[in-house]
Amino acid sequence: MRTLISNGTIVTAEGSYPADVLIDGEQIAQIGVDLAAAGVSADETIDATGRYVIPGGIDVHTHMELPFGGTFAKDTFETGTRAAAFGGTTTIVDFAVQSRGKSLREGLDAWHAKAEGNAVADYGFHMIMSDVTDETLREMDQLVAEGVPDFKLFTAYPGVFFSDDGAIFRALQQTEKNGGLIMMHAENGLAIDIVAAQYAEGGKTDPYYHGVVRYPVFEGEATNRVIRLAEAAGVPVYIVHLSARDALEEVRAARDRGSMAFAETCPQYLFLSLDDLGNGFNGAKFVCSPPLRPKDHWDELWRGLVKDDLQVVSTDHCPFDFEGQKELGRDDFRKVPNGLPGVEDRVDLLHDGGVVGGRITRERWVELIATAPARLFGMYPHKGAVAVGADADLVIYDPNRRHTISAKTHHMDVDYSCYEGREVQGGSDVVLSRGAVIVRNGEFTGRKGAGRFVKRTPADFARLA
């Protein structure tokens, strides 16, 4: 099957230019001006006049079916990748979970079983490590060889995913040997639990207090600590879901002194704030960790994106219904399952708030949503690029189309939207996954099970730092 995308403007991290794209099978075969006039034939031609042709979005932080707080994140690999595709994202990297006392292998196998035959678009895995033991450290090497080269550890969630500094340091040291990457959830969970208990025992149990007790300085302190540990081990580290100015200052300082520190932020930290956690129990819809911060953190995060102290925007997509799931914490904010839906909205929110809002260029937008994640997570140039030989994961994006985000129309399997009623400019008209059209003008045309596991190799972090 040969598909010609004609008359569009190709937008990549490097630049923008008018050109046609010929897809042959699953890959991009040719890029050039007026290919039809030059005699190129195709089975189908898609006219992209007035629209961008961009690499499919890559969301390197999702949690499909994550067990959390006595329940499970609601999207499956089928519903989650389908919703992602509607929003212009054609690859996700999800977090497989090693449960306490079990092996990494068991966790990874379980996640393969969830995804295989269900995902509509491509997916990879990182591994959440709950135990750092001689055995799990050995297993890390095997996972790197199998294309799962990143491991998430937590300084948060004592008793659940928490690792102490010694465990974190051992895991960092192991990546010095196997080339992998440690991803850190950096908040001081032990200190947070003390403040949280004090508030709850004082009768302050509303979701709002989730945002109060997790001080920004607790994120800054943990960020500094894990970066310093990585420096001591001589390895890179990637800070996930960075939310606070305090943490960004630590990343910036580390990068300025030559450290291989990388970080992502998420749309919720750019567009939502502590105010959203107010409004009684409705605030539970906005409970995630790290929490939403006061609005005065926004400008600093945008500056971080412009200056490349933040390299990636991912979603941390982890959806729980308000009814029946978030409600588990009706009496106590500590029991609200942590996580927000967002995999469908990332590309458009960043386009609207970033490009249309005049904060970033359209090239930087593509870099943040696709190219940089592909580079850092070992998928480039197969993914994250509009280039001959790359996978034909492409989005024909209308930069002028406007739509209103709503739970009534979104495709994520969750009963609310954090952005309900927000109008955004920009939308994905046609979405292709390895050459196949999977979304066309609001209709799903893909197939359950068509998504493939993406085997990834560790990036050259010293070059990317």
User: What residues line the site for ligand URP (CB under 6 A)?
Assistant: 63, 185, 241, 288-289, 316, 318, 338-339
- Return the residue matching tokens 């045309």: 445
Select from Zn ion, ligand URP, none the partner in contact with residue 188, using the beta carbon and a kind-dependent cut-off of 5 to 8 Å: none
* Helical ranges in 242-399 per DSSP H: 245-256, 267-271, 298-307, 346-349, 362-366, 372-376
Backbone angles phi, psi at 55, to 5 degrees: -65, 145
CA gap 455, 148 in Å, rounded:
7
Select from ligand URP, Zn ion, none the partner in contact with residue 155, using the beta carbon and a kind-dependent cut-off of 5 to 8 Å: none
Select from Zn ion, ligand URP, none the partner in contact with residue 339, using the beta carbon and a kind-dependent cut-off of 5 to 8 Å: ligand URP
Per CB under 5 A, 214 contacts Zn ion: no
Closest residue by beta carbon to ligand URP: 338
Residue closer to Zn ion, measured from CB, 189 or 435: 189
Select from Zn ion, ligand URP, none the partner in contact with residue 245, using the beta carbon and a kind-dependent cut-off of 5 to 8 Å: none
Residue closer to Zn ion, measured from CB, 250 or 316: 316
Per CB under 5 A, 74 contacts Zn ion: no
Residue closer to ligand URP, measured from CB, 66 or 392: 66
Per CB under 5 A, 346 contacts Zn ion: no
Residue closer to ligand URP, measured from CB, 94 or 246: 94
Please answer whether residues 107 and 130 qualify as being in contact, where contact means their C-beta atoms are separated by less than 8 angstroms: no
Q: Using DSSP, how many helices (H) and how many strands (E) does the chain show?
A: 14, 19
Angle, vertex CA 351, rays to CA 345 and CA 352, nearest 5: 85
Q: Please work out the total of residues on this chain that contact Zn ion, with binding judged by CB under 5 A.
A: 2
Residue closer to ligand URP, measured from CB, 33 or 160: 160
Smallest distance, Å, CB 262 to ligand URP? 16
- Return the residue matching tokens 């197939």: 447
Select from ligand URP, Zn ion, none the partner in contact with residue 338, using the beta carbon and a kind-dependent cut-off of 5 to 8 Å: ligand URP
CA gap 282, 278 in Å, rounded:
7
Which residues have a Cβ under 8 Å from the Cβ of 91 and sit 6 or more positions away? 56, 57, 58, 59, 121, 122, 123, 124, 379, 383, 393, 454
Residue closer to ligand URP, measured from CB, 215 or 444: 215
- Return the residue matching tokens 């992998």: 180
Which residues have a Cβ under 8 Å from the Cβ of 144 and sit 6 or more positions away? 178, 179, 180, 458
Per CB under 5 A, 309 contacts Zn ion: no
Backbone angles phi, psi at 166, to 5 degrees: -65, -45
Residue closer to ligand URP, measured from CB, 69 or 180: 69
Residue closer to ligand URP, measured from CB, 269 or 380: 269
Select from ligand URP, Zn ion, none the partner in contact with residue 46, using the beta carbon and a kind-dependent cut-off of 5 to 8 Å: none
Per CB under 5 A, 316 contacts Zn ion: yes
Smallest distance, Å, CB 128 to ligand URP? 9
Select from ligand URP, Zn ion, none the partner in contact with residue 288, using the beta carbon and a kind-dependent cut-off of 5 to 8 Å: ligand URP
Residue closer to Zn ion, measured from CB, 241 or 434: 241
Contacting Zn ion within 163-202 (CB under 5 A): 185
Residue closer to ligand URP, measured from CB, 206 or 393: 206
Smallest distance, Å, CB 287 to ligand URP? 7
Please answer whether residues 114 and 152 qualify as being in contact, where contact means their C-beta atoms are separated by less than 8 angstroms: no
443: which strand partners? 440
End-to-end CA distance of the chain: 40
Select from Zn ion, ligand URP, none the partner in contact with residue 246, using the beta carbon and a kind-dependent cut-off of 5 to 8 Å: none
Smallest distance, Å, CB 63 to ligand URP? 5
Backbone angles phi, psi at 79, to 5 degrees: -70, -35
Per CB under 5 A, 276 contacts Zn ion: no
Please answer whether residues 155 and 222 qualify as being in contact, where contact means their C-beta atoms are separated by less than 8 angstroms: yes
Smallest distance, Å, CB 240 to ligand URP? 7
Q: Candidates 124-132, 164-172, 271-279, 315-323 — which segment interacts with Zn ion by CB under 5 A?
A: 315-323
Residue 445 CB neighbour total at 10 angstroms: 13
Closest residue by beta carbon to Zn ion: 185
Kindly list the distances between the CA atom of residue 428 and the CA atoms of 36, 193, 230, 440, 442, in Å, as whole numbers in the listed order.
24, 42, 39, 9, 9
Smallest distance, Å, CB 395 to ligand URP? 26
Q: What are the tokens at 420? A: 């309900």
Smallest distance, Å, CB 363 to Zn ion? 27
Which residues have a Cβ under 8 Å from the Cβ of 443 and sit 6 or more positions away? none
Binding site for Zn ion (CB under 5 A): 185, 316
